[in-house]
Amino acid sequence: MNVTFTRAGVVTGFRSTLPLGLPVGAYGAVFGLLAQQAGVSALEATLLNLFVFAGAAQMAVLPYWEYPLPILVIATTTFLINLRLVLLTASLRPWLRRLPGRLVYPLLHNVSDESWSVAMMRYRLGERDAGVVLGCNLVIMVVWFPGTLLGFALGDRIPNPEQFGLDFAFTAVFGAMLFAGYRSKRDLGPWLASALAATLVWWLAPGTWYVVAGGIAGVATAILTADSSHHVNVPEPEVIE
Amino acid sequence: MSDAWFALHRETIIVIFVMAVITYGFRAGGYWLMGRVTLSSRVEAGLAYLPGAVITALVVPAALEAGVEGILGLVAVAITMRVKSNLLLAMVAGVATVWLLRNLT
């Protein structure tokens, strides 16, 4: 399979992730507001954005932001919430493995649930240009960074995203990616297994263990139910706007 | 004003460093680990289902948490994707459904 990294790919990835700009920006503003209320300076919030770049974990640690900072609690929370990232980048390996590490490892730093889901579904539909991964990541970066500063500056004057149903935007996008990626009945077993495992673990365990459980249950089901005579169909490329 | 914007505690630097190491460790670690293991073709074929399984795991609990509105929002997303494979339209349909149901009930 031919893997390239082109500017055209970056543009494609950027364009396909643009719909996520508004909800990601809105949540960036919420993070900025909460950070300000927790006594985190704009500079500190920006350093979190630059070096951690994981919105859910950044929000989750804010309630513990009292000096002296409880480093163990913050580390544990970060660990539990960001655990899922292992599976995201693991699944990028087949796509990026032919590229040099000096290109891939910096790219991995900005992988998020949203950009990854858009990129992966394009991969599933036949996309092989790794520039797409960067393009998808860039959208999230260019709205998240200014979004947090806007929220920080405006404080309580920013509207609550839930008021507009924007909290559902991410779920809607993940759902849309799933429907776009549906190929055949063979998908249903792994997806159902994942849904059951994820729901169960979501009730029982903290953090994002549920994402890990769903991913493992899905892959295990796919392996166990694999028909050895079955040939993997190479999907026809399809246009998603 | 300037303090709220530009204060930088030494402790904060340490905490951000720890968070950054854990987070990048996961991001780089997942990718790195996949390069270290040799996989049978059967397992490799199974791993093709990883993205779909992870996305399912992200969607289902989130929709359940959003309640009946969330599940109907997903139905709206599914219908939109079936009619026209457009991410923006599907997102708008889902968000609008949830917003309407929340404001009607």
**Contacts with B79 from chain A: Cβ below 8 Å:** none
Is B56–A118 a contact, with Cβ atoms under 8 angstroms apart? no
Tally C-beta pairs within 8 A across A and B: 296
Kindly state whether residues B65 and B27 are assigned to the same domain. no
Kindly state whether residues B46 and B79 are assigned to the same domain. yes
Kindly state whether residues B22 and B63 are assigned to the same domain. no
B48 and A CB contact within 8 Å: yes
Kindly state whether residues B57 and B103 are assigned to the same domain. yes
Please count the structural domains in chain B. Answer: 2
Amino acid at site A164: F
pTM of structure: 0.91
Kindly state whether residues B90 and B48 are assigned to the same domain. yes
Kindly state whether residues B74 and B55 are assigned to the same domain. yes
What average pLDDT score do residues A172-199 get?
95
The interface residues of chain A toward chain B in range 107-166, judged by CB-CB distance below 8 A, are: 108-109, 111, 113, 117-118, 120-121, 123-124, 152, 164-166
Element containing residue B19 per DSSP (H, E): helix B10-36
Mean pLDDT of chain B: 94
A54 and B23 in contact (C-beta within 8 Å)?
Answer: yes
- Kindly indicate the confidence band of residue A226, based on its pLDDT and cuts at 50, 70 and 90: confident
B92 and A23 in contact (C-beta within 8 Å)?
Answer: no
* Residue pointed to by tokens 């993205």: B51
Instruction: Give the residues across from A4 on adjacent strands.
Output: A129
Is B85–A202 a contact, with Cβ atoms under 8 angstroms apart? no
Q: What is the percent of chain A with per-residue pLDDT over 70, rounded to a whole number?
A: 94
Of B9, B43, B57, the CB nearest to A211: B57
| Cα diameter, chain B | 60
Kindly state whether residues B59 and B88 are assigned to the same domain. yes
Residue A172 has pLDDT above 80, yes or no: yes
* Domain limits, chain A: 7-181, 184-236
Range of the structural domain that residue B17 is part of: 1-37
ipTM reported for the complex surpasses 0.85: yes
Kindly state whether residues B48 and B83 are assigned to the same domain. yes
B35-65 pLDDT, tens digit per residue, is: 999 889 999 999 999 999 999 999 999 999 9
Q: What is the spatial distance between Cα A130 and Cα A119, in angstroms, rounded to a whole number?
A: 9
- Kindly indicate the confidence band of residue B87, based on its pLDDT and cuts at 50, 70 and 90: very high
B7 and A CB contact within 8 Å: yes
